[in-house]
Amino acid sequence: MESNEFNFTGYLSNQDGFHGDGIPIKNTDDVSNFLTTNVETWYELRIVDSGDLTVFHVKDRVLIFPVPDHGNKNNKWNSEFKKFVTID
């Protein structure tokens, strides 16, 4: 497997924690599409690796994991800019 390919699975959950079948995520474009397509309509998004370890987690439009390089945990999705921004 090339370094830019993954064997990840994305899950979309409602506020009660219910989710459907996983969505295969194979590359960075899949990650981007999974995020931008779903972050505004689903309560929780998770991406896990083949060992079921979380590699990406968003809850109520707030980035939970991974913590950004600058170390601030207060990063909420900005619909206008289509990215996470630090909130006060």
Q: Which domain holds residue 33?
A: 8-86
Query: Comparing C-alpha atoms, which of 48, 49, 79, 54 is closest to residue 67?
Result: 54
- In a domain? residue 75: yes
Residue 1: pLDDT band by 50, 70, 90 thresholds? very low
The residues with which 8 forms a beta bridge, in sequence order, are: 25
- In a domain? residue 2: no
16-58: pLDDT as tens digits: 999 999 999 999 999 999 999 999 999 999 999 999 999 999 9
Nearest-5° Cα angle at 46, 78 to 24? 110
Number of domains the chain is built from: 1
- In a domain? residue 41: yes
- In a domain? residue 1: no
Would the CA dihedral through 70, 71, 72, 75 be positive or negative? positive
Predicted TM-score of the model (pTM):
0.85
pLDDT of 2 above 70:
no
- In a domain? residue 52: yes
- In a domain? residue 59: yes
